[in-house]
A and B are shown apart, each in its own frame.
Chain A
Amino acid sequence: MVMAGALSQLVRRARIAVLGPTLPILNPVRVAEEFAMLDTMSGGRLVAGMMRGTPNEYVTYNINPAESRDRFAEALHLIRRAWTETRPFGWLGRYYQYRTISIWPRPVQQPHPPLYMSGSSPEAGEFAARNHIGIGFAFTTVPLAKSAVQHYRACARDAGWEPAAEDVIYRAMFHVADTDEAAFADMSTLPPRISLVDQNKAIAAGVRQSGYYGADAVAQRQRTSRRELADRIELGQIIVGGPDTVLAQVRCIRDELGAGVLDLVVGAQLGERTLHSIELFGAKVLPRMREL
Chain B
Amino acid sequence: MTETTFAQRWAGESQRLPYWEAGAGETIVAILDGQRLPTRAHTLLAERRRVIVFAMTADAGSPQGAARQVGAAVAALGIDRFDLIGEGAGAAAAVWLVLAPKADIGSVVLAAPDSVLGGPPDEAFREIKRPVLVLCGTNDKSDAGDLWRALLPGCHFMFVYDAGPAIGAERPEALAFIALEFFERRDLFLVSRESGVVFP
Interface residues of A, Cβ cutoff 8 Å to B: 74, 77-78, 81, 87-94, 96, 99-100
In Å, the complex CA distance between A20 and B157 comes to: 30
Known: A92-B178, A99-B190, A100-B190. A74 touches B159 (CB 8 A): no
- In the assembled complex, the CB of A22 is this many whole angstroms from the nearest CB of chain B, namely 20
CB proximity to A under 8 Å, residues B134-177 = 135, 138, 149, 156-162, 171, 174, 177
Chain B: CB-nearest residue to A91: B159
Q: Is the CB–CB distance between B162 and A94 below 8 Å? A: yes
Which of B149, B159, B191, B192 is the one whose CB lies under 8 Å from A92? B159
- In the assembled complex, the CB of A81 is this many whole angstroms from the nearest CB of chain B, namely 6
Known: A77-B138, A99-B189, A99-B192. A90 touches B161 (CB 8 A): no
7 nearest A-B residue pairs (beta carbon): A90-B158, A93-B161, A99-B190, A92-B160, A92-B174, A89-B157, A92-B158
- In the assembled complex, the CB of A12 is this many whole angstroms from the nearest CB of chain B, namely 38
Interface of A is mostly: mixed
Q: Is the CB–CB distance between B157 and A92 below 8 Å? A: no
Q: Is the CB–CB distance between A92 and B190 below 8 Å? A: no
How many chain B residues touch the partner (CB < 8 A)?
18
Query: Inside 8 A of A87's CB, which chain B residues have their CB?
Result: 149, 157
CB proximity to A under 8 Å, residues B171-197 = 171, 174, 177-178, 189-192
Q: Is the CB–CB distance between B157 and A88 below 8 Å? A: yes
Query: Inside 8 A of B177's CB, which chain A residues have their CB?
Result: 92
Interface of B is mostly: mixed
In Å, the complex CA distance between A81 and B171 comes to: 19
Known: A78-B161, A99-B190. A90 touches B149 (CB 8 A): no
- In the assembled complex, the CB of A146 is this many whole angstroms from the nearest CB of chain B, namely 33
Query: Inside 8 A of A99's CB, which chain B residues have their CB?
Result: 156, 158, 189-192
- In the assembled complex, the CB of B198 is this many whole angstroms from the nearest CB of chain A, namely 10
Of the listed residues A74, A93, A96, the one surrounded by the most CB atoms of chain B closer than 10 A to its CB is A93
Q: Is the CB–CB distance between B162 and A89 below 8 Å? A: no
Q: Is the CB–CB distance between A94 and B161 below 8 Å? A: yes
Of the listed residues B156, B159, B171, B190, the one surrounded by the most CB atoms of chain A closer than 10 A to its CB is B159
In Å, the complex CA distance between A88 and B158 comes to: 9
Query: Inside 8 A of A88's CB, which chain B residues have their CB?
Result: 157
Query: Inside 8 A of B171's CB, which chain A residues have their CB?
Result: 92
CB proximity to A under 8 Å, residues B94-119 = none
Query: Inside 8 A of B149's CB, which chain A residues have their CB?
Result: 87
Query: Inside 8 A of A94's CB, which chain B residues have their CB?
Result: 161-162, 174
In Å, the complex CA distance between A89 and B178 comes to: 14
Chain B: CB-nearest residue to A85: B159
- In the assembled complex, the CB of B182 is this many whole angstroms from the nearest CB of chain A, namely 10
Known: A77-B138, A99-B189. A89 touches B158 (CB 8 A): yes
Q: Is the CB–CB distance between B158 and A91 below 8 Å? A: yes
Chain B: CB-nearest residue to A99: B190
Of the listed residues A87, A88, A89, A94, the one surrounded by the most CB atoms of chain B closer than 10 A to its CB is A89
- In the assembled complex, the CB of B48 is this many whole angstroms from the nearest CB of chain A, namely 18
In Å, the complex CA distance between A228 and B163 comes to: 49
Q: Is the CB–CB distance between A74 and B162 below 8 Å? A: yes
In Å, the complex CA distance between A74 and B159 comes to: 12
In Å, the complex CA distance between A100 and B153 comes to: 15
